[in-house]
Amino acid sequence: MARNESDREDLMKEATALIRRIEFCVADNPQQIVAGFRKTGGLSLYFEADPVYHVDEMMRLRRAYVDGYLYRTQGTTLAQLNRQRTKTTTTLHRYDLGEEECQAFCKQVATNIQNLFNSLQKNDVQIHQQIPEDVPLLDELKEALQKILEEGIQLAPAIAAKK
């Protein structure tokens, strides 16, 4: 486990697992957004450093980073993970969200995705960079967001523990 996290200085360069990625901002909001697709079809959305959402190829929520906490799917709920650091150790604390907490969290995710989708539908977007340049990534992103919104925020199956 890394001892310290830092904001990504150039997510477009660093996010090489996102084989198709785009950096943009929407009208009236200077916040940089990076969206990208993995080889598996999963999507990652970075609203600057926080919040961050990762969904699988079925557009189900796998992981999120919100308000300094990492969240990961447990299949039926989300686990909130928090790193506690001392000079010599890092301890990971886990808290499983209750049903109401999970629903409230998913509602906020849906609101953020809906706001982004609405801006994309209005073409209120300024693209800063895109990799590769010759792919209609905004159209692909709109389709993915629409699928998420139509299905509602669904949780992916539990992430397998590392052996």
- Mind listing the pLDDT tens digit for each residue in 35-68? 999 999 999 999 988 999 999 999 999 999 999 9
Tokens standing for 47? 């609203």
Please check whether residue 5 lies inside any domain of the structure: no
Determine phi and psi for 51, rounding to 5 degrees. -85, 165
**Number of domain units in the chain:** 1
Please check whether residue 47 lies inside any domain of the structure: yes
The residue-averaged pLDDT of 123-140 equals 92
CA angle, 138 then 154 then 51, to 5°: 55
Please check whether residue 21 lies inside any domain of the structure: yes
Please check whether residue 137 lies inside any domain of the structure: yes
Tokens standing for 94? 């886990």
Res. 4: pLDDT tops 50: no
- Mind listing the pLDDT tens digit for each residue in 73-122? 999 999 999 988 889 998 889 999 999 999 999 999 999 999 999 999 99
Please check whether residue 121 lies inside any domain of the structure: yes
Collapsed DSSP state (helix, strand, coil) of residue 103: helix
Res. 2: pLDDT tops 80: no
Residues 14 and 103: their CA atoms lie apart, in Å, by 32
Confidence of residue 5 (pLDDT cuts 50, 70, 90): very low
The set of residues, in sequence order, having a beta carbon less than 8 Å from that of 35 and lying 6+ positions away, is: 21, 22, 24, 43, 44, 45, 46, 137, 141
Residues 4 and 81: their CA atoms lie apart, in Å, by 15
Res 83: pLDDT = 86
Please check whether residue 156 lies inside any domain of the structure: no
Look up the domain containing 33 and give its range: 14-151
Res. 1: pLDDT tops 60: no
The answer to whether 153 and 46 have CB atoms below 8 angstroms apart is no
The answer to whether 139 and 44 have CB atoms below 8 angstroms apart is no
Please check whether residue 4 lies inside any domain of the structure: no
Confidence of residue 7 (pLDDT cuts 50, 70, 90): low
Residues 18 and 151: their CA atoms lie apart, in Å, by 23
Residues 2 and 34: their CA atoms lie apart, in Å, by 23
